[in-house]
Amino acid sequence: YTPTESGRFLLTAVATVGSRTLQSPSIRVEVKPSKRAGFVRVSRRDPRFFELDDGSPFFAVGQNVAFVKDVHETRGILRKLAANGANFVRVWTCCEDWGMAIEARKSAWSRSWDWKPPFADDPAGGKCVRLSGPAGSAVTANPTQRMGLRPNTRYRLSATVWSPDRSPIAVDVAGARVVWSTEADPAQQTAEVTTGPETWWLETVRLSLPEGGSAFVRGLSLKEAAGDREILWDADPNRPDLGAYHQADCAMLDAVVEEAERVGIRLHLCVLTRDLYMDRLKDPASPEYDRAIKDARNLMRYVVARWGYSTSVAVWEYWNEMDPGRPAGRFYGELGAFLEQMDPYRRPRTTSAWADAPDDWRHDQIDVASMHWYLRPAEAALYEDEVEAVLSKARHLRAHAPSKPALFAEFGLAQDNWQPSPDMRADAAYVHLHNALWASALSGLSGTVMAWWWEDIDARDAYRRYRGVSAFVRRIPWNGGRLKNATLSVSDDRWRAVGLATDSAAFVWIQDSRAVRTQRTASGEVRESSSGVTVTVGDLRPGAYRAAWVDTVTGAIIQTQTIQKTADSLRLTAPSFQGDIACAIEASPATQKETTTP
């Protein structure tokens, strides 16, 4: 629970279990004023951008860390991002069986990307595991998560087995082999196995037919002889995909949220497993559609109850990349209305699609418009110029979402089949990300592009690319209600300028158009310096201004100058630079005072 105001509170937990209502004893707490910034909100003064509860602006600088498989590794990535100024990370809680997923199909018998489980109809109802074939035929249970074992410990293995031809079944588990005889009718079998002195993990459980034939297995189980914890929970063919929330994965998200709180990262959580819902959203008048909404409400209720307290949880995203052709408007409307009542902190809500989704971007119950787009050869000229690509896509998104936050939530270099691009090796310095970060930061969007290939970024330790842009955007009054695209011109077509401005400040990025990834050296350097570059800024009111020229990699100020603006525009000459440079132009206190509206 995170109170949003100080005072004395009476807290009581109430739970409805079936027909019973359970209520805890009440406790009294006193909440004192805090200097914490609070939750991420849509800005009240300028709903195109975000702010925090304390009124300070929030501009999202970050990337995807979508597939959480190893919490220790994810913690390390969050720390590195935070150390370099990033403040925003998109995380999936819907990875099915390859990563963290709260509600998803997880089976030890097969994987989602090649779903061929050895299941058969069970005479008792539901499904069972079937073995058949010549001697040595086998099926293997490979747990979806690493399951720990205790060395030198007794374990109880059990199952119900049967075989029309009474074929024996061999079970290989934890370095031991058990052979069970069978009958034509189902019968319970049990055995004890003892782990070795170095057996710490359950790798697989292999069922085989030493003599061939066919056999069936129901209720395969492995527990400590002295305990009751089920180790083979994902070997149950009848475990429901919907409504069963994986507690090991929930514990992983607990750890991710706690780490985000420690290092100051805000999380964009992608919650629902799309493929459990998409086929049910074909007809808004169907009972399947109704059930999909009900299932989503149940999961979101759980998610809000468990993680809704955290100010580090910034945005709820319903799912990753829905089919934009699905009539999902009713779903978003009803689930959004439910969250308005269920989430006491009213977090922004968003969704994403695998192609442009203007209906989603404009939907009243979608608070944040979200775009996914990649630099691919099929994009022709845009593939060669990441700056123009980002700017053109930002304009497109803003055209459909002019009055709400808008995020470029997936971005990167990719092949036409969406796999990692071999060109990433040629851009070892991550120039394309550097340029895309700066272009997006001053495009009018509510955050930078969010890179997808987090493992490659981590392997190359490319986090430094966030340092300069994160320092620069902290200067910009995102929630002041006055930002607009700056009126800019540069002294030569070789350079281009992108910026945002009010009537008393301008924030500008100047880039050598030859400094895109395809024109730089292998080390990411530009072969020659730019000098004598001038930029003209329009629409600033007359008065005294201070210009701070900024190194785009480090965020350090290179040079400052004071300028008096009297004409229609303000003209500045940049210090010598390679590739790009940024400039923050801000009115003096006296000029700022004249600008302030009573």
Q: Tell me if the pTM is above 0.85.
A: yes
Give yes or no for residue 374 having a pLDDT over 80: yes
Examine the domain organization and report whether 493 and 530 are in the same domain: yes
pLDDT grade for 591, boundaries at 50, 70 and 90: confident
Residues 455-474: tens digit of each pLDDT: 999 999 999 999 999 999 99
Among 206, 235, 264, the domain-final residue is 235
Paired tokens of 467:
């340092």
Give the CATH number of the domain where residue 150 resides: 2.60.120.260
Residue 493 sits in the same domain as residue 583: yes
Quote the pLDDT of residue 85.
99
Of 430, 414, 521, nearest in space to 468 by CA:
430
Q: What is the pLDDT of residue 170?
A: 98
Residue 577 has pLDDT above 80, yes or no: yes
Structure confidence at residue 569 as a pLDDT band (50, 70, 90): confident
Cβ atoms within 10 A of the Cβ of 376, count? 17
Q: Would 108 be classed as within a structural domain?
A: no
Same domain, 391 and 303: yes
Distance (Å, whole) CA 555 – CA 531: 20
pLDDT (average), residues 105-123: 96
| Residue showing tokens 């005479």 | 123
Residue 2 lies in a domain: no
Residues 475 and 492 in one domain: no
Q: Give how many domains the chain has, as a whole number.
A: 3
Asked whether residue 388 falls in the same domain as residue 262, the answer is yes
Domain assignment present for 58: yes
Q: Provide mean pLDDT across the span 271-289.
A: 98
Least confident of 202-206, 273-277, 511-515: 511-515
- Whether 595 shows a pLDDT value over 60: the answer reads no
Spatial CB neighbours of 275, under 8 Å, sequence gap ≥ 6: 96, 112
Say yes or no: 305 and 400 in one domain: yes
Same domain for 160 and 230: yes
Identify whether 186 is part of a domain.
yes
C-alpha distances (whole Å) from 184 to each of 121, 160, 189, 191 are 16, 12, 14, 20
**What does the pLDDT read at residue 528?**
72
Same domain, residue pair 476 and 486? no
More confident residue, 55 or 519: 55
The 10s digit of each residue's pLDDT in 129-139 is: 999 999 999 99
**Residue 104 placed within a domain:** no
- Calculate what percentage of the chain has a pLDDT beyond 90: 91
Same domain, 351 and 441: yes
Ranges 15-24, 269-278, 461-470: which has the least confidence: 15-24
Q: Above 60 in pLDDT, residue 419?
A: yes
Mean pLDDT of 391-409: 98
- Asked if residue 409 and residue 476 are part of one domain, the reply reads yes
pLDDT tens readout for residues 404-418: 999 999 999 999 999
Tell me, what CATH number does 448's domain have?
A: 3.20.20.80
**109 belongs to a structural domain:** no
Looking at 448, 463, 481, the residue that finishes a domain is: 481
With 80 as the cut, is the pLDDT of residue 503 above it? yes
Q: What is the mean pLDDT of residues 431-439?
A: 97
**Is residue 83 predicted with pLDDT exceeding 90?**
yes
In a domain, 112, yes or no: no
CATH number at 502 reads: 2.60.40.1180
Q: Is the model's pLDDT at 108 over the cut of 70?
A: yes
Confidence of residue 589 (pLDDT cuts 50, 70, 90): confident
CA angle 494, 496, 497 (to 5 degrees): 155
Q: Average pLDDT over the chain, rounded to whole? A: 95
Mean pLDDT of 269-275: 98
Q: What is the pLDDT of residue 514?
A: 87
Domain boundary among the residues 454, 481, 508 is at 481
- pLDDT of 598 reads 46
Place of tokens 């492995």: 222
Q: Is residue 252 helix, strand or coil? A: helix
pLDDT digits (tens, 9 = 90+) for 202-256: 999 999 999 999 999 999 999 999 999 999 999 999 999 999 999 999 999 999 9
Query: Could you tell me if residue 418 is inside a domain?
Result: yes
Domain range for 53 is 7-99+244-481
Q: Is the pLDDT of residue 481 over 50?
A: yes
Residues 334 and 477 in one domain: yes
Q: Look at residue 444 in the predicted model and tell me its pLDDT.
A: 98
What is the pLDDT at residue 522?
54
Question: Coil, helix or strand for 391?
Answer: helix
Q: Indicate whether 372 and 252 sit together in one domain.
A: yes
d(Cα 166, Cα 157) in Å, to the nearest integer?
20
DSSP one-letter string for 194-223: E--TT--EE--EEEE-TT-EEEEEEEEEEE
